[in-house]
Chain A
Amino acid sequence: MVLNPFRNSGLFSGRIRRTLVMLVLTALVPVLIVQAWVYFSWFETRQANERTNNLEYARAVGNAFREFVRDITRQESAMGDALIALLPYEPDQANDFLVRNVSEYHAVRSFHWTDPGGKVIASSDPRAIGLDLSDREYFKRIAGGAEWAMSDLIVGRASGQPAIIVARGMRDASGALVGVAMASIDPSMLGEHVMPVDRPERGVILIYDRAGRLVYRRPEAVTPPSVGETDPLLASAFMGHEATGESVVPGANERYISARVPISDTGWVAGAGTPYSLVIAPLMRSLALDFALLALLAAASLLVASVLSGVVVAAVQRLKAHAQAVGAGDLRHRAEVSGIEELSELAAEFNTMAALLAERGRAEQAASDALKRANEELEREIAERKEAQARLHTALQKLSFHVENSPLGVIEWDTDYRITRWAGEAEKIFGWTASEVLGKRIDEFKWIYEEDLGKVADVMRGMDTGERPSNISANRNYRKDGAVIYCEWYNSALLDASGKMVSVMSLVLDVTAQTRAQDDLRARSAELEASNKELEAFAYSVSHDLRAPLRAIDGFSLALLEDYARILDDRGRDYLARVRAASQRMGALIDDLLKLSRVTRAPMNRQMVDLSRMVEDIADELSREEPNRKVEFVIEKGLTADGDPQLLRSALENLVNNAWKFTGRRADARIEFGARQQDTGTAYFIRDNGAGFDMAYADKLFAPFQRLHSSNEFPGTGVGLAAVQRVIHRHGGTVWAEGALGAGASFFFTLADGGGA
C-alpha cells in the first residue's frame, strides 16, 4: 500500500501543517529583525566614515587653494619690485615682462600693473591698458592699506570672462602706494595643477567665494554653477566652522554626503562630497542578496514543514490502515496519547516490523534465485560437456585420419615394446602387414640392423627411465625382404596422470634415399677435391717442366747468335731471333695460364675492400712505370665491397691495365672508375676512351686466349679478362662489357655481398 503525503488537501491544510508553518514563520521573524539592525548600524558606520573622508578632502582642497593664492601674491610682489626697479620704463618693455610671467602660471589669464590711482598702465593683455579699476572692491581694500586682496567671482573687464582677481599693493619706504600688481585668474583652470587632490569614483570637490557662489567644481557638473545656494553646511562654514552632513550639490540632482571647510585668510569655503547612492550601493547589493537567501530559506523551510507534516499525516494514516489490517480496532484511544515524536517512534516500530517481513520475503526470494541459478549452471555445464565430447570425437576422428594417412609410419608400443598399432606408411616402409606384426615384441623378428641394436636399446632405456621421454633417433632397419634401410624415428612416451609411461608412439621416416644421396654427394666432393689436387699438381708440373725446355731453346738460340754469329747469315740470325721470340711468348702464355688456374684455386678470404683505393694504387703504379704517358684518371672515392682483396686486386689490375694499354694511342687518354645502382645491386665500372671493340665480339672478350687485336697492335695473351671473369664469378657476380670500335670500352662488374663461391 502506497500513501500519498499530499493526499486530499492543499499544501498547508490541516492542523498539523498549519502549526508547522506558523513555527517556521515565527522562527523567521527574529532573523529578520536582527538582519535589519545589522544593516542599519552598518549603514550608519559607512555614513560616518564617508563624512570624515569628505572632511579630509575638503581640508586638502582648501589648503591647496590657499597655497595657490599665496604663491600668486609672492610672484606679484616680485614682479612689482622688478617693475619699480625698471622705472622709468618703456610701456612695451613692461608689457612684455608681464606676458612672459603669464606663461609661467597655469591658471593665470593675465597680469596687470596699475598706478596708485587704479589705472592700468601695463598689462599682458593689451585690452586692459587704460582701464580704471579703482572702483573694484579689492582695489579699495588695498588702497585702504591691505597688503593684498582677492575678489569674489567677477566678470573681467578686459576679457569679459568669469575671473578671480588677486591683487598686491606695492609701497615705498614711507608706506605710500606706488602701484598694484594684479593677476586675473580663470576659475575653470583651477584643475589638478592647482589642486592636486584625487577623488575616487563619483566624489566631487568644490570651492565657493565669499558670496557663496560656486567658483569651481570637479568633476564639472553638466549644468553651470548656480549662484546663491543655501545649504546649512555652507552657512556653517562661512561662520568659520567645519561642517559635515547631507547636501544637494548644485549641478547634480542628487543627495551627497558632504563636508564644508573655511579657507583661511580668504573668507572662501572648500567642499567635498560623495553621492549618497555610491555610499549605500554595496549595502543595497548585499541587502538584496541576503533577502533573496532568506526568502529561499523560508520557502525551503515551508516546503520541508509541509512534507514533514505530510509524512506525519501519512504515518497516522498508515497506522490506522495497519491497525485496521491487523484488526486491533481501538484506533481513537491510541491517537489521543500519541504526539508527533511518539507517532514517529510508532511508525519506526511498524517500519521495523515491515522491514523484517520484507527481509524474510527477500531471503526467500534469494534462496529461490540461487536455486534457479544453480539449475541453469548445471544445464549449461551439461551442454558444454556434450559439446566438448563432440569436439573430442571430431578431433579423434581427424587424428586417426591423419595417422592412417600419414606419410610417416605410425607405430605404437605397449610398455613391454609389443606393437599395438601399425599404421600410416609402416607397411609400405617395412613390408610387413599389420596382422603380421601386431602383438610382436620388438626383438621377436629380424627387424633391427645388428650393428644398431645397441643404439636402439639406448633409446628404449631413455624412454623407460623417463630421461628422454621424447626423442629423435636414426638407425638402420631390415625390411621384410631383407633389404637394409635407413630410418629416422620420432619417439614419444605417452604418460598417465601420475607420470607413468603407458605406451610409446613412434613416427618413422624412411631416409634411405636421402642418406644415399648424401653419401653420393660426399663421394662426389671427395672426387672433386682429388681432381682439384690433380689440377694443382698439373699446374705445378707445367710451371716447372714446360718452362725448362723453353729456357733451353731461348738460351741456346742466344748462344748460337753470340758464339756463331760469323758463320750465320742474316736470315739465319733472323730465324734464331724468331725462335727466341716464340719461346719467350710461350713462356708468357704459360705464366698467364698458371695465373688463371691460380685464380680458380686460391682460397677465398672475404673482407671489406676499398676498391677506389686499389684503383688509385694501380693508377699510380702505371703512371710511375710509364711517366711519359698522360692519362687522366677519374676515380670515384669511397667505393667499397665485400670480397677477397687479392683476387679483386688482380681483377682491377687486369681491367685498369687493359684500359691503359688500349688508350695508348690517344693524346687525351681518360680512364674512369665508378659505380652505378641497378636492379641487381651495385655495378662497378672501368671506362676508357681508347681503341674500344666491336660489340659483335663482346661475348668473346672473356674467353681465354681470345684476342680482338693483333699482338702487333696491342701486346697481350688474352688471359687477363678471362681471369677477371673468374674472379667476379667466384664472388657470385657478373661481368660484361660495352663499347664501340674506336669509341672506348666500359667494363662493368657486380659482386654479390657475402654470397658467392
Chain B
Amino acid sequence: MMVKTILLVEDNPDDVELTLRALKHSNIANPVVVARDGVEALDYLFGTGSHAERHESELPAIVLLDLKIPKIDGLEVLRRLRGNPNTRFFPVVILTSSKEERDLIEGYRLGANAYVRKPVDFIQFSEAVRQLGLFWLVLNEVPPSEKGTG
C-alpha cells in the first residue's frame, strides 16, 4: 500500500501553515499536497493541466477542501469530483470558516463525507484535525474506484 497523501485545497497561506501545524501536532505525518485554487485541485485530482504528469499512485487518501477558494469554489470542486466515476467515492472533508447552514446542507447534498468548521481557537482546531486524520487516514476503508486503483 502506498503512503496515503493528503490533498489540502486552501488559498490562505496562514490557514495552510496552521493546518500543517495542526496535522503535525496530531502526529499525522502523511505527505500533504496543497492546491491554492479550485482549478489546481481538479487538475491534481484528474491528472490534467499542471498535474498531467502525476502518477496515479499519487492520488490522495483524503481531500481537505476549503469552500472559499479562487477560480472554482469548493462546492463546485466537490460537484465535479462526484460527477467523475474515478473520484466518486473519494473521501472529501469540507474544512471551512463558514458555519452558514446553506453551505453545510449543500456540502452534504453534494456528497461531502464530513464538514468541519475551523474554530478561531487553534487548540480546538488541532483537536478537530486530529480526529479527522484518525478517522479518514487510519480507520476508514475506501471503496475501490471503478478503475480498480483504490
Contacts and interface: CB of A to CB of B under 8 A. Distances in A.
Interface in B86-138: 96-100, 118-123, 125
26 contacts: A539-B100, A540-B100, A543-B99, A543-B100, A544-B67, A544-B98, A545-B68, A548-B12, A548-B15, A548-B97, A550-B120, A551-B14, A551-B122, A552-B12, A552-B14, A554-B120, A554-B121, A555-B17, A555-B18, A555-B125, A556-B17, A556-B18, A558-B123, A580-B121, A587-B119, A591-B99
Interface string B41-71: 0000000000000000000000000011000
B21 interface: yes
Given A548-B15, A559-B21, A554 B122 contact: yes
Contacts of A555: 14, 17-18, 21, 122, 125
Given A540-B98, A543-B100, A594-B99, A551 B68 contact: no
Nearest to A549: B14
Interface string A525-565: 00000000000000110011101111110111011000000
Given A551-B122, A555-B122, A587-B119, 17 more contacts: A540-B98, A543-B98, A543-B100, A544-B97, A544-B98, A545-B68, A545-B97, A547-B118, A551-B18, A552-B15, A554-B120, A554-B121, A555-B18, A559-B122, A584-B121, A586-B120, A594-B99
Nearest to A559: B21
Contacts of B67: 544
A400 B27 CA distance: 98
Contacts of B98: 540, 543-544
Interface string A553-594: 011101100000000000000000000100110110001001
B97 A547 contact: yes
A554 B124 CA distance: 11
Q: Which interface class (under 10, 10 to 19, 20 to 34, 35 or more) fits B?
A: 20 to 34
A415 to B, nearest CB: 63
Interface in A462-493: none
A443 B15 CA distance: 75
B67 to A, nearest CB: 8
Given A552-B14, A555-B125, A547 B120 contact: yes
Contacts of A558: 122-123
Contacts of A583: 120
Highest count of chain A CB atoms <10 Å: which of B15, B67, B119: B119
Contacts of A543: 97-100
Interface in A204-243: none
A121 B48 CA distance: 164
B108 to A, nearest CB: 18
A591 B97 CA distance: 11
Contacts of B121: 554, 580, 584, 587
Nearest to A563: B21
Contacts of B12: 548, 552
Interface of B: 12, 14-15, 17-18, 21, 67-68, 96-100, 118-123, 125
Nearest to A602: B101
B115 to A, nearest CB: 14
Contacts of B68: 544-545
Mostly, the B contact residues are loop
Q: Which 4 A-B pairs have the closest CB atoms?
A: A587-B120, A552-B14, A555-B122, A555-B18
A583 B123 CA distance: 13
B119 to A, nearest CB: 7
Nearest to A591: B99
A547 B119 CA distance: 8
A149 B125 CA distance: 146
A742 B96 CA distance: 43
Contacts of A540: 98, 100
A551 B118 CA distance: 8
B99 A551 contact: no
Contacts of A556: 14, 17-18
B149 to A, nearest CB: 35
Contacts of A549: 14
Contacts of A559: 21, 122
Nearest to A598: B101
A552 B67 CA distance: 18
A558 B119 CA distance: 14
Contacts of B21: 555, 559
Nearest to B120: A587
Given A584-B120, A587-B119, A552 B18 contact: yes
B102 to A, nearest CB: 9
B15 to A, nearest CB: 6
Contacts of A584: 120-121
Contacts of B119: 551, 587
B104 to A, nearest CB: 12
Contacts of A554: 120-122
Choose among B12, B14, B97, B123 the residue with the greatest number of A CB atoms under 10 Å from its CB.
B97
Nearest to B22: A555
Nearest to B101: A598
Contacts of A551: 14-15, 18, 97, 118-120, 122, 125
B9 to A, nearest CB: 15
A441 to B, nearest CB: 61
Contacts of B122: 551, 554-555, 558-559
Contacts of A552: 12, 14-15, 18
Contacts of B99: 543, 591, 594
Greatest chain A CB density within 10 A among B14, B118, B121, B123 is at: B121
Contacts of B14: 548-549, 551-552, 555-556
A591 B118 CA distance: 13
A556 B19 CA distance: 11
A543 B104 CA distance: 13
Interface string A266-280: 000000000000000
Contacts of A545: 68, 97
Quick one: which of B12, B122, B123 has the most chain A CB within 10 A? B122
A556 B121 CA distance: 11
A667 to B, nearest CB: 32
A710 B122 CA distance: 26
A507 B123 CA distance: 78
A584 B119 CA distance: 9
Contacts of A594: 99
A556 B16 CA distance: 12
Interface in A666-681: none
A556 to B, nearest CB: 8
Contacts of B125: 551, 555
Nearest to B122: A555
A554 B118 CA distance: 12
Nearest to B68: A544
Nearest to B18: A555
Interface in A251-284: none
A584 B125 CA distance: 12
A545 B66 CA distance: 12
B122 to A, nearest CB: 4
Interface in A584-612: 584, 586-587, 591, 594
B116 to A, nearest CB: 13
A625 B56 CA distance: 49
Contacts of B17: 555-556
B4 to A, nearest CB: 25
A372 B14 CA distance: 120
A447 to B, nearest CB: 53
Contacts of B118: 547, 551
Nearest to B13: A552
Nearest to B25: A562
Contacts of A548: 12, 14-15, 97
Contacts of B97: 543-545, 547-548, 551
A556 B120 CA distance: 11
A545 B11 CA distance: 12
B95 to A, nearest CB: 12
Contacts of B96: 544
A545 B18 CA distance: 16
